[in-house]
Chain A
Amino acid sequence: MSYLSHADLGGRDRQGRVVPEPEGELFHAAWQRRALALTLAMGATGVWSIDMSRRARETLPDYRSLSYYEIWIKALEKLVIEHDLVDAAEIAAARMLRPARPVPRVLRAAEVPAVLSTGSPTQRPAGTTARFVTGQQVRTRAGEMGHHTRLPGYARGKTGRIERLHGVHVFADTHAHGSGEQPQWLYTVAFTARELWGEDASPSLTVSIDAWEPYLEPVA
């Protein structure tokens, strides 16, 4: 099974400088405001999850050449087609050619504050005991995953230390593919820079990821 994410950027070389910007500068064109709002409003219909949105974005073949809100819009077009809310001919024609399908919810203006302040909590009741404890050494899975995952490439096959437990959360890897929430224990795992990047790395740098239990194995 092959799955290619273009969004896993941690540790990649030959990137340019970071360009700071003033605090109030949120959008660089009027359409970007609309792109944000359309993405949030369609997300609120409940037809797909945030994990499915991330999957749609990171698999866009031209991801790396797009600005961020271009990624959002192209992924939104992909999602509405995939979920059969709209068809490609309607997008091309920019008008409705067949009736709408029912959606679980339409976000109304008056509901926006309440919907935003509730959010979409991912924590679920713990049905199992956590496999790992704080301070324990663990090794992350190595190699390709073959599906959407939140285990970054730079942290695969590495040994780290459990630093925090966050309870049981919806598992992005299955949720992104419509295979259910399958909640798993979530941990913060910290790695020395030398473990991640080699002997020349700074001894005063530590990097952590948040990792679901299936990403981890105990170190004997």
Chain B
Amino acid sequence: MGHPPTYDHAESSELGEMDLRVRSLQTLLTAKGYIDPAALDVLIETYETRIGPRNGARVVARAWTDAVFRKWLLQDATAAIASLGYAGRQGENMVALENTDSRHNIVVCTLCSCYPWPVLGLPPTWYKSAPYRARAVKDPRAVLAEFGVTLPDSIEIRVWDSTAEVRYLVIPQRPAGTESWSEEQLASLVTRDSMIGTGLAKSPGDRA
């Protein structure tokens, strides 16, 4: 095996060729009647604007402010998440993982790129990359350091490899100093990476 591809190199050297190749394939599959080109536009628009990590942030903020919802989320995440309108493809069997003072959860898919689409949208490039998939299960503290996160040795790191059709959502710890915050304000502190476990929720002072 060669060097792991660096993303920019792979994109810039392949751009023209891949652009042509994908266009040709689309033309052929459309001519055959297997696809409706209008459906492609709707699919892209959906994952660019409607299904993304703001959905998950809303789930987390609700769990932070509503003890009944939190309990439901931890017992039956699929149903609790569906009650907020998020369900379906790549989120058919959801499990929520709560970070605590003694445990930090991290999610990976070492075999491909399994990821909870209804709550987080499409996975970021690094989540699908060889370095993350190889290292998250063996040396997660070093991976966390690359995200600027350092946790005390006393905290257990719990890594969940998504090897079947169960999809995991991390519930990060609620930041201190947010006692009076509304659910909507709290959601703005919940980053995508904090729901994968490679980050923490933002502190009130970090809020953009």
Q: Which residues from chain A sit less than 8 Å from chain B, CB to CB?
A: 5-13, 15-21, 23, 25-26, 28-31, 33-38, 40-42, 45, 54, 57-58, 64-70, 73, 76-77, 80, 85-86, 90-91, 94-96, 100, 103, 106-109, 111-113, 115-123, 150-152, 154-155, 164, 166, 169-170, 172, 186, 188, 193, 196-197, 201-202, 204-212
> Of A10, A90, A155, A186, which is within 8 A of B164 by CB?
A186
Asked whether, in the complex, the Cβ of B18 is within 8 Å of the Cβ of A73, the reply is yes
Q: Known interface pairs A18-B135, A117-B87, A152-B163. Does A67 touch B11 (Cβ–Cβ under 8 Å)?
A: yes
> Of B6, B28, B156, which is within 8 A of A96 by CB?
B28
Closest to B14 in A: A70
Asked whether, in the complex, the Cβ of B128 is within 8 Å of the Cβ of A68, the reply is yes
Asked whether, in the complex, the Cβ of B53 is within 8 Å of the Cβ of A23, the reply is yes
Could you give, for residues 2-35 of chain B, a 1 whenever the CB lies within 8 Å of some chain A CB and a 0 otherwise? 1011111011001100110111111111011111
**Cα separation A75 to B15 with both chains bound (whole Å):** 18
Asked whether, in the complex, the Cβ of B44 is within 8 Å of the Cβ of A33, the reply is yes
- Chain B min CB distance to A163 (Å): 10
In the bound complex, residues from chain A placing their C-beta under 8 Å from that of B33 are: 100, 106
**Cα separation A90 to B143 with both chains bound (whole Å):** 44
In the bound complex, residues from chain B placing their C-beta under 8 Å from that of A210 are: 161-164, 166
Q: Known interface pairs A10-B133, A90-B28, A205-B156. Does A38 touch B19 (Cβ–Cβ under 8 Å)?
A: no
Q: Give me 11 A-to-B residue pairs in the complex whose CB atoms sit less than 8 angstroms apart, sorted by A's number.
A: A12-B134, A15-B134, A15-B135, A23-B191, A23-B192, A29-B18, A31-B22, A36-B43, A64-B5, A69-B18, A113-B42
Asked whether, in the complex, the Cβ of A26 is within 8 Å of the Cβ of B47, the reply is yes
Q: Known interface pairs A15-B4, A19-B126, A42-B29. Does A202 touch B141 (Cβ–Cβ under 8 Å)?
A: yes
Q: Known interface pairs A21-B126, A41-B35, A208-B161. Does A73 touch B21 (Cβ–Cβ under 8 Å)?
A: yes
**Known pairs A19-B126, A206-B159. 8 more at Cβ < 8 A?**
A26-B121, A37-B41, A65-B2, A68-B129, A70-B14, A86-B28, A120-B92, A205-B159
**Cα separation A33 to B38 with both chains bound (whole Å):** 14
- Chain A min CB distance to B82 (Å): 9
A to B contact number (C-beta, < 8 Å): 292
Q: Known interface pairs A67-B11, A152-B111. Does A107 touch B130 (Cβ–Cβ under 8 Å)?
A: no
Q: Which of B5, B18, B24, B140 has the most CB of A within 10 A?
A: B18
Asked whether, in the complex, the Cβ of B22 is within 8 Å of the Cβ of A10, the reply is no
Asked whether, in the complex, the Cβ of A64 is within 8 Å of the Cβ of B25, the reply is no
- Chain A min CB distance to B146 (Å): 5
Asked whether, in the complex, the Cβ of B157 is within 8 Å of the Cβ of A80, the reply is no
In the bound complex, residues from chain A placing their C-beta under 8 Å from that of B35 are: 38, 41-42, 106-107
- Chain B min CB distance to A46 (Å): 11
In the bound complex, residues from chain A placing their C-beta under 8 Å from that of B133 are: 9-10
| A contacts with B: majority SS | mixed
B84-136, CB < 8 A from A: 87-93, 95, 108, 110-113, 118, 121-122, 124-126, 128-135
Q: Known interface pairs A7-B112, A42-B34, A45-B34. Does A119 touch B90 (Cβ–Cβ under 8 Å)?
A: yes
In the bound complex, residues from chain B placing their C-beta under 8 Å from that of A205 are: 140, 156-157, 159
> Of B1, B32, B111, B135, which is within 8 A of A100 by CB?
B32
In the bound complex, residues from chain A placing their C-beta under 8 Å from that of B193 are: 20, 23
> Of B34, B88, B132, B198, which is within 8 A of A116 by CB?
B88
Q: Known interface pairs A7-B111, A17-B131. Does A64 touch B166 (Cβ–Cβ under 8 Å)?
A: no
Could you give, for residues 35-70 of chain B, a 1 whenever the CB lies within 8 Å of some chain A CB and a 0 otherwise? 110111111101110010100000000000000000
**Cα separation A85 to B34 with both chains bound (whole Å):** 9
**Cα separation A123 to B78 with both chains bound (whole Å):** 13
**Cα separation A35 to B23 with both chains bound (whole Å):** 9
